[in-house]
Amino acid sequence: MSSATAARSWWAVSRTRSRLTAVAASVLVLALAAVSVVVWTSPEISPVQQTIRAAEEVQRVTAEAHEREQLLARIDALEAQLGSLAEGKADAERALAENDGALQAALKELALVKNAPSNRHGVPVKTVPPPAGSAAPQPTAVTAPPKSELVAPSAAYYGMYTEQAPHNWATLDATSAKVGALPSMVGYFGGWDEEFRSDAVTRAWARGMLPLLTWESRPIAAQNDVVNEPDYSLPRIIGGAFDEYLHRYAQQVVATGLPLAIRLDHEMNGVWYPWSETDGSGASINGNSPGDFVKMWQHVHDIFQEEGANELVIWVWAPNRVDNLPKANRGSEFLERLYPGDDYVDWIGMSGYLRPPYADGSSYTYDATFGATLTQLRGVADKPIVLAEVGASETEGHKPEWVASFFQALTRPENDDIVGFAWFSLAVTTYVQGERATNDWRIDSRADSLAAFRDGLAALGDGVRTQPIG
């Protein structure tokens, strides 16, 4: 807008006010003339006083005229706003009417889905086709392969954790678009103050992804590194304090009828969760004792067995990387003592990160991160292995090198027992050695890190199970 146009806009805000503006100008001129006559014809007022009073009167009349114009402009603006609101109201009413129709259609479709027959494994059941000429739409039932196929896949799973998936796909989809492929597994977390989220499992399988639930025996909002959760101690769980909850949870798994992987109380060999047994110096964590973890795991598994839920659950036992633990927790005997037994576990796994601070002479490779732990895991059990939580920090710039090493290692024959990995694609702020630090584990944290991931995943070819975008 030019300065001339702006000036005209100030003086005459709209055409509807232009006539009033002209009248106001005329009034101002007449007022000035009247003041002049009065002042100059009054013999009792000195010329100086006459001049001052005339100036004051002119100033007052000018101010009133200006105030009037401002009020008129304000009225114009309010009228314009009212007009916009009226138009917005009409648009909203039309949209509401349209949404109401869509809602009614969705409710009808939901009713059809609920009534669609299926067995407890999600395998579709043959139904009688509708009569010829029927145009009624048939909803697609959410299905999944049986557990036996999922435990021993023909290609490794590619999994991803984001802030909200599988409840919201925005971040996962945006990252996948950059990678060029969708995952075949989606990770998420749940606490023992939550009921079973059947919607998470259904939403995951609706997009062809195996749900990987990290199920923590503590409240979902609990903070990491808080180990004192006496209400959730292992002895209380073993003693039956949560049996009603566990039975109900298992029943809900069966009612959903779709398989999932459950990583129960992960990283149990560490010292930062309330389900760990000791702190590395022999002191109890959260009232727990050696042997309690195995008893707890078996107790939960037995309840699921009673309810028939184990036919749908892939149980994942996944400790932490061993070489970053207190010395007392690093040995193979310590890890073996935490293993519940082959009858209670389907997959073994681990968490492994390129995580600062780095020791002098550190090697930024797959072997440096995973090697020692995988050796111990393979000694504990002959089970399929899932790298259940994986990530790399951008700190010091080693991430692209590490990512390339990670994918190259997955092609080696000695790693054929690895049936999948799940990347922790989040940025997290924590305290490391008393200092606040943010680690960006995201796949797309930087362009070179994203390129290394994209190229590495593509190089796996048929060895990894991905899904096309769109």
* pLDDT number for residue 52: 53
Q: Picking from 28-32, 120-124, 225-229, which range would have the lowest pLDDT averaged per residue? A: 120-124
* pLDDT number for residue 437: 84
Q: Please tell us whether the domain made up of 149-465 is placed in CATH 3.20.20.80.
A: yes
Q: Pick 149 or 359 by higher pLDDT.
A: 149
**pLDDT tens digit string along 310-353?**
999 999 999 999 999 999 999 999 999 999 999 999 999 999 99
* pLDDT number for residue 470: 79
* pLDDT number for residue 63: 59
Overall average pLDDT of the 424-431 stretch: 91
Cα(90)–Cα(84) distance, integer angstroms: 10
Domain edges within the chain: 3-94, 149-465
* pLDDT number for residue 331: 97
Task: Kindly tell me if the per-residue pLDDT of 116 is higher than 90.
Answer: no
* pLDDT number for residue 55: 55
Task: Kindly tell me if the per-residue pLDDT of 466 is higher than 90.
Answer: yes
Overall average pLDDT of the 184-202 stretch: 99
Q: Pick 60 or 355 by higher pLDDT.
A: 355
* pLDDT number for residue 225: 84
Task: Kindly tell me if the per-residue pLDDT of 137 is higher than 80.
Answer: no
In 3D space, the residue among 37, 35, 42 whose CA is nearest the CA of residue 58 turns out to be 35
Cα(212)–Cα(214) distance, integer angstroms: 7
Cα(153)–Cα(259) distance, integer angstroms: 14
* pLDDT number for residue 93: 53
Cα(183)–Cα(408) distance, integer angstroms: 19
**Residue 121: pLDDT band with limits 50, 70, 90:** very low
Please give the backbone phi and psi of residue 340, each rounded to the nearest 5 degrees, phi first. Answer: -75, -20
**Residue 36: pLDDT band with limits 50, 70, 90:** low
